[in-house]
């Protein structure tokens, strides 16, 4: 995509936001807008316009799924507390027909989940043919808090990067296109959002006292994120860095990445599995 007034991007987000091209996450500016030229007003208008494109593509994927196509898309969302993962689910997921989505959030593993391999609960939540899966947190938690707090020994989490690459390759081989977005919020913006959560009774539900403790491990998390990008940003299942200090920008960026992903499937409307001319005559012959 060159300079294109339809989309507002001078460089397509699929290139401009690719983790491997953006340098260390510790130096990444959460207020930046790589590849995008417009301001907030333009960005918000664009999200509405591009949301319609996304909705059409999602319907196309769903229609193919209904006709037996087994392909699907998986969007993995990661990010520090208050980075806006839930907002992406609501505001980007909310642009398409909810029937076509398979949304799953991953919290602290239950006892049952802990009694299985860490990918067990992930496999159970994968999108089936024709659907877009959205993971609010994912198997990457098993190399994030788990690594930062050594919830399993290093010898165990260390192997997970390769295991995750193999798992994602398996997904892609099975017809699931995987894209992974890390929402990057600055420390200052996180403080602002946590403050707001305590000032508004309608946001208390989002506040978790433990988030303050996790913030104390900020640099360790950055290191754990960097290891993820260094070791699991593959062409098979690429990682994108989404600057998340501006919610309008992160939503627009993820919408655009999903559009790109769906377009790359090169889908057509499935042909009728009945004789159209015969059916037209039958409908014409109906009384009233
Ligand atoms: P939330 O997304 O706000 O509902 O928070 C979910 C919490 O569960 C976060 O603190 C995550 O870090 C934590 N969590 C998710 N998956 C895991 C995991 N596999 N191991 C440990 N903690 C996890
Ligand atoms: Mg939370």
| 8 A C-beta contact, residue 138 and residue 122 | yes
Neighbours of ion ligand 2 (CB under 5 A): 81, 208
Residues with C-beta less than 6 Å from any ligand 1 atom? 106-109, 137, 141-142, 145-146, 208
d(CA 287, CA 285): 6
pTM value is 0.96
- CATH number for the domain harbouring residue 102: 3.40.50.300
Q: Is 161 helix (H, G, I), strand (E, B) or coil?
A: helix
Whether residue 207 lies inside any domain: the answer is yes
* Residues 126/129/134/135 CA torsion (nearest 10 deg): 10
d(CA 79, CA 221): 10
Whether residue 210 lies inside any domain: the answer is yes
Q: Which domain holds residue 185?
A: 3-266
Q: What is the pLDDT of residues 226-238, one digit of tens each?
A: 999 999 999 999 9
Quick one: which of 183, 181, 155 has its CA closest to 79? 183
Beta bridge partners of 182: 78, 241
| Closest residue CA from atom 6 of ligand 1 | 107
pLDDT value at 266 more than 80: yes
pLDDT value at 198 more than 80: yes
d(CA 115, CA 214): 25
Q: What is the pLDDT of residues 103-159, one digit of tens each?
A: 999 999 999 999 999 999 999 999 999 999 999 999 999 999 999 999 999 999 999
User: In this predicted structure, what is the pLDDT of residue 8?
Assistant: 87
| 8 A C-beta contact, residue 204 and residue 146 | no
| Closest residue CA from atom 2 of ligand 1 | 107
Q: How many domains does the structure of the chain reveal?
A: 1
Whether residue 28 lies inside any domain: the answer is yes
Q: What is the pLDDT of residues 8-35, one digit of tens each?
A: 899 999 999 999 999 899 999 999 999 9
User: In this predicted structure, what is the pLDDT of residue 6?
Assistant: 67
| 8 A C-beta contact, residue 58 and residue 262 | yes
Gyration radius (Cα) of the chain, Å: 21
Whether residue 275 lies inside any domain: the answer is no
Whether residue 67 lies inside any domain: the answer is yes
Q: What is the pLDDT of residues 69-96, one digit of tens each?
A: 999 999 999 999 999 999 999 999 999 9
- What angle is formed at CA 274 by the lines to CA 273 and CA 275, rounded to 5 degrees? 135
| 8 A C-beta contact, residue 247 and residue 196 | no
Residue whose pair of structure tokens reads 């299985």 in the numeric block: 116
């Amino acid at each position: 995509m060159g300079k294109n007034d339809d989309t507002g991007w001078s460089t397509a987000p699929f290139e401009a936001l690719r983790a491997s091209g953006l340098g260390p996450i510790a130096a990444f500016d959460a207020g930046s807008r790589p590849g995008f030229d417009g301001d907030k007003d333009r960005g918000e208008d664009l999200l509405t316009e591009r949301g319609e494109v996304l909705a059409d593509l999602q319907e196309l994927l769903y229609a193919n799924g209904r006709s037996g196509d087994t392909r699907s898309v998986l969007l993995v969302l990661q990010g520090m507390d208050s980075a806006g993962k839930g907002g992406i689910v609501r505001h980007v997921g909310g642009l398409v027909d909810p029937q076509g989505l398979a949304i799953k959030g991953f919290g602290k593993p239950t006892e049952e989940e802990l009694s299985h391999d860490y990918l067990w609960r992930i496999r159970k939540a994968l999108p089936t043919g024709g659907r877009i899966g959205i993971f609010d947190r994912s198997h990457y938690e098993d190399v994030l808090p788990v690594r930062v707090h050594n919830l399993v020994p290093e010898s165990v989490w260390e192997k997970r990067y390769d295991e995750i690459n193999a798992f994602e390759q398996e997904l892609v081989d099975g017809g699931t296109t995987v894209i992974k977005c890390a929402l990057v919020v600055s420390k200052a913006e996180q403080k602002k959002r946590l403050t707001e959560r305590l000032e508004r009774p309608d946001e208390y539900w989002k506040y978790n006292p433990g988030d303050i403790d996790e913030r104390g491990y900020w640099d360790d998390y950055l290191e754990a994120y960097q290891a993820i990008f260094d070791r699991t940003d593959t062409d098979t299942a690429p990682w994108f860095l989404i600057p998340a200090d501006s919610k309008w920008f992160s939503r627009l960026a993820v919408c655009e990445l999903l559009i790109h992903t769906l377009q790359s499937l090169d889908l057509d409307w499935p042909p009728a599995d009945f004789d159209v001319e015969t059916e037209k005559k039958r409908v014409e012959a109906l009384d009233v």
